[in-house]
Structure 1
Amino acid sequence: MKNVTDSFVFLGHWPSAGSFGFNTDILATNPINLSVVLGVLIFFGKGVLNDLLDNRKQRILSTIRNSEELRKGAIEQLEKARARLRKVETEADEYRVNGYSEIAREKMNLINATSDSLEQLENYKNETLRFEQQRAINQVRQRIFEQALQGALGILNSCLNSELHFRTISANIGILGVMEEITN
């Protein structure tokens, strides 16, 4: 590289009369120098620049392709998430409906069980009332029977004398004896 710059410096010292050389006056030679430099840059830098641009283009295209793939993947994931959301919402609605129907069913079961219990209690109450009524009737009958028996015994005792008493006992013994002969 040093040789190239040395040769340009050396060329700058050549006399300009009758020969080819570089004018080092910047104001006078600026368009020429620029066009020469640009020509050299374009000639030698064209391949490098094309390679850089091609590499950049390939990276940009690769990035775009990756972005497209990522976008497609994100869209697929979004659709899957939406499908899962719809499924979960449907299941939640089913649970909600089933929950409400289960609550209604339990409510009806509780009402029916309470109604059955109340009916059984009513039956027990009625049975208890009938039992107590029958017991009261039996007690009244027994008292009436006891009073009638007391009255009959009182009448019998007042009407019966010892001879009538003796004849009644003898007649009953005779009836028992005849019954005994019939059974044998």
Structure 2
Amino acid sequence: MTIQFPAPALFAHHGGFGINFNPFETNLINLVIVIGVLVWFLRGFLGGMLERRRESILADLSDAENRLSSATAELERAQSDLAAAQHKAESIRRDGVARAAAVREESEKRTIEEMARLKEDAVADLNSEAARVSDLLRREAARQAIERALASLPSKLDDAAQTRLIDQSIRNLGND
């Protein structure tokens, strides 16, 4: 038995289009059953898949947050190490500059001391040479004076003067 409504017949006459409300002819019942069965079976299957996917995404997010916090901690530690290394490098540079200045000052001091010692040695050598030359000149002058005196002595000394001179020399030797 088909129930016909005036509206479908109306729509069918005016352009070949109509709506069939008969559930048996349209397979409406079969579609409802198939859709219901699909929803009932797929709810657990799709729900499980979606839940596993959700848990996987949450685990990935948690892992990413953990890696971010770990990377942040590593970055802070690396920045701290960098600051310490820069401080140590600056300290080493300052120590190097101070050591170079101390070495330069010590070198200058040793150079000045060496120059003073060389000057003292030169003055001592000069004084020694001057004393040697002076002594040589005195000896030469004394030798020449003795030669002149000996040359002129025989003509100026008679026997009495010679005796007085010898006696006076003997007395002088006795007083020393």
What's 2:66 paired with? 69
Q: Deviations over 1:16-68 (max 9, x none)?
A: xxxxx976xxxx44x66544322211122212222222222111111111111
Name structure 2 gaps, 5 residues minimum.
1-22
1:131-146 alignment to 2 at 5 Å?
A: 131-146=128-143
TM-score, length-scaled by structure 2: 0.72
Are 1:45 and 2:42 an aligned pair? yes
Q: Give the Cα–Cα distance (whole angstroms) in 2 for the partners of residues 118 and 148 of structure 1.
A: 44
Match of 2:160 among 157, 164, 183: 164
TM-score, length-scaled by structure 1: 0.69
1:168-183 alignment to 2 at 5 Å?
A: 168=164, 171=167
Offset at residue 167 of structure 1 (A) = 3.3
Are 1:89 and 2:86 an aligned pair? yes
Match of 2:96 among 74, 94, 99: 99
Offset at residue 95 of structure 1 (A) = 1.2
Q: Give the Cα–Cα distance (whole angstroms) in 2 for the partners of residues 46 and 174 of structure 1.
A: 155
Letter in 1 for 2:160: L
Are 1:127 and 2:127 an aligned pair? no
Offset at residue 79 of structure 1 (A) = 0.9
Letter in 2 for 1:101: A
What's 1:150 paired with? 147
Number of equivalent positions = 151
After superposition, the CA RMSD in angstroms is 2.8
Name structure 1 gaps, 5 residues minimum.
1-20, 180-184
